[in-house]
Amino acid sequence: MTDYFVESVGSVPTLYVFRNIFEAKEISEQIQLFAGIYEEELNKSFIEFWSLNSDKILAERLWINETNREPIWFAESDVESYQNFCEQIYVEQYQIYIKIYYEYYKHLHKSLTEKFDDQPISCEEEIDASFVDDFEKLQLLGLPTAFGRGTVVKQTKSKRSYPKVYSGYFSDEDNDCATVMDPVKINDLKDDDVKNSGTSSVHDIEVKVIGKKKKNRKLKGVPDFVLENKEILKYWRKRFSLFSRYDDGIRLDCESWFSVTPEKIATHLADRLSCDLIIDAFCGCGGNAIQFARTCNRVIAIDIDPIKISMAKHNAKIYGVDHKIDFIIGDFLQLSRCGRFHSDIIFLSPPWGGPKYKRKDHYDIENYLQPCNASSLMETAKSISENVVFYLPRNTTISQVIKLADKGNRCEVEHNYLDSRLVAITALYGESILKEKDI
Ligand code: MGP
Ligand code: SAH
């Protein structure tokens, strides 16, 4: 049997966030509702994604500052070429989105229902059909065909080649855990270079046949501290996804390497949770706290481990936000008992039990989370703020997450993908921080 994996390629991974609001008492109804409007949800979600990200994506594709990858130039008068370029990117982004959204949909169903049918609705054919006649299909679906602002028109020679840019996140040679997905249909987009090459590609999407593994993996340039602890090699390879300013001297210990929230996710959460005062109850080396400091007036960052706090302080200095964070060394559970902490939002990113958390099909937040189960953490957090946010493993049992909202209350579950990989889920509790979908 031939195995394929889909690898999204971009200088930094693209963040995809899919969200849903659940009511504690109506889980089954929610599933049915969601299944009934799959395509509508997909399109709405893509429109939101494109409106938020189009400028950035187009700019990234025009300006690729890596060696051997030249920027694309358009003559100022050649508006048509620029429009075509934008349309092409739009179509390819939609194709990628369809694939990732379907993975998300399957994942959500699987985690909500024990007996998951691999084809819950007959959307597979519809999805594949959308690879044909992409643009017409977009129009038929009622999607907007207006593209990103035409602000980046640059002078000189016109080039119509679309360079591939490899992701710092997943181009990892040692990473044998690439997400195994269904083969992507190669569409009719014209990319002769790619069609003639050894691997097939739909621009950002690479489809490779997994063959013999490379024996001599390149370890050139890998620092000694990583070679001494090979467990962190794969995390080190995506260091710039964890901290874009890694090379400015970011410090991480072993636990932090595998626990830190990747910067794109931390940035997204910080934008969403912007408020006056936020508490990061398990701050580690500062992945989240640093980003919160950008968007909130004040951050209280707590960790039980003094080494983590000293690293977090140091890292916050690199990002120029240390003056906005109060660092506290201590046990969050004990500190909360003093009753002196109150905040607009409390963010909980506790230890999950190390990288082995993913060995389980279903991660049980009432048994495996540290330093105590999710219900106790929630109770403690509620004594500090009515708005509670949990950062949890991707294999978390969603019904447990929903149960954490008291009866009659609602919670929102965000699935945070970097490229085609589900990294984690974020659960939000508290009416004022839930984000309604505009139906
Ligand atoms: P991962 O699953 O170890 O990495 O962690 P990856 O590359 O998705 O694994 P692979 O085996 O699929 O290749 C994914 C993300 O989960 C990390 O980037 C952290 O943000 C987060 N994370 C992982 N762990 C073990 C913890 C943890 O113990 N606590 C917290 N708060 N976050 C964690
Ligand atoms: N979100 C962080 C990573 C958190 S990892 C980041 O992006 O950098 C979880 C952290 O919880 C670890 O640093 C660990 O030292 C800390 N921790 C464990 N038990 C704790 C407790 N009882 N109180 C406070 N911190 C704790």
pLDDT, tens digit, 9 for 90 and up, residues 318-352: 999 999 999 999 999 999 998 889 999 999 999 99
Who wins on pLDDT, 292 or 120? 292
CA diameter of the chain: 67
- Residue 402, Ramachandran bin (φ over 0: left; ψ between -120 and 50: alpha; else beta): alpha
Say what the pLDDT of residue 35 is.
62
Say what the pLDDT of residue 64 is.
62
Summarize the confidence of residues 355-370 as an average pLDDT: 92
Say what the pLDDT of residue 207 is.
43
pTM: 0.79
The answer, yes or no, to whether any atom of ligand 1 lies below 6 A from the CB of 423, is yes
The alpha carbon of 48 and the centre of ligand 1 are apart by a number of angstroms equal to 27
Say what the pLDDT of residue 124 is.
42
Residue 310 pLDDT > 70: yes
Residue 429 pLDDT > 60: yes
Q: Burial of 186 by CB count in 10 Å (0-12 exposed, 13-18 middle, 19+ buried)?
A: middle
The alpha carbon of 105 and the centre of ligand 1 are apart by a number of angstroms equal to 21
Residue 363 pLDDT > 80: yes
The alpha carbon of 129 and the centre of ligand 1 are apart by a number of angstroms equal to 35
Q: Which ligand is nearest to the CA of 280?
A: 2
Amino acid of residue 114: E
Q: Write out pLDDT tens, residues 184-211.
A: 332 332 333 333 333 333 333 344 445 5
* pLDDT band with cut points at 50, 70 and 90 for residue 111: confident
* pLDDT band with cut points at 50, 70 and 90 for residue 76: confident
Residue 278 pLDDT > 80: yes
3-state secondary structure of 335: helix
The alpha carbon of 355 and the centre of ligand 1 are apart by a number of angstroms equal to 6
Cβ–Cβ < 8 Å for 247, 19:
no
Say what the pLDDT of residue 393 is.
97
Say what the pLDDT of residue 313 is.
98
The answer, yes or no, to whether any atom of ligand 1 lies below 6 A from the CB of 357, is yes
Strands 277-280 and 205-209: unpaired
Residue 281 pLDDT > 50: yes
* pLDDT band with cut points at 50, 70 and 90 for residue 5: very low
The least confident of 69-83, 150-164, 220-234, 238-252 is 150-164
Q: Write out pLDDT tens, residues 117-133.
A: 444 334 343 434 443 35
Within 10 angstroms of residue 54's Cβ, the number of other Cβ atoms is: 18
Q: Which ligand is nearest to the CA of 286?
A: 2
The answer, yes or no, to whether any atom of ligand 2 lies below 6 A from the CB of 305, is yes
Residue 21 pLDDT > 60: yes
Say what the pLDDT of residue 83 is.
87
The answer, yes or no, to whether any atom of ligand 2 lies below 6 A from the CB of 306, is no
Token couple for 56: 């950035």
Q: Which ligand is nearest to the CA of 176?
A: 1
Say what the pLDDT of residue 187 is.
32
The answer, yes or no, to whether any atom of ligand 1 lies below 6 A from the CB of 371, is no
Summarize the confidence of residues 227-234 as an average pLDDT: 85
Say what the pLDDT of residue 277 is.
98
Give the closest residue (by CA) to ligand 1 atom 12.
177
Summarize the confidence of residues 399-412 as an average pLDDT: 88
The alpha carbon of 40 and the centre of ligand 1 are apart by a number of angstroms equal to 31
3-state secondary structure of 62: helix
Give the closest residue (by CA) to ligand 2 atom 12.
284
Cβ–Cβ < 8 Å for 352, 343:
no
Say what the pLDDT of residue 202 is.
30
Give the closest residue (by CA) to ligand 2 atom 15.
305
The alpha carbon of 255 and the centre of ligand 2 are apart by a number of angstroms equal to 9
Strands 298-303 and 277-280: parallel
Say what the pLDDT of residue 425 is.
97
Give the closest residue (by CA) to ligand 1 atom 29.
351
Who wins on pLDDT, 213 or 120? 213
Summarize the confidence of residues 165-172 as an average pLDDT: 37
Q: Write out pLDDT tens, residues 48-69.
A: 999 999 988 888 877 764 445 6
The answer, yes or no, to whether any atom of ligand 1 lies below 6 A from the CB of 330, is no
Mean of all residue pLDDT scores within the chain: 77
Say what the pLDDT of residue 153 is.
41
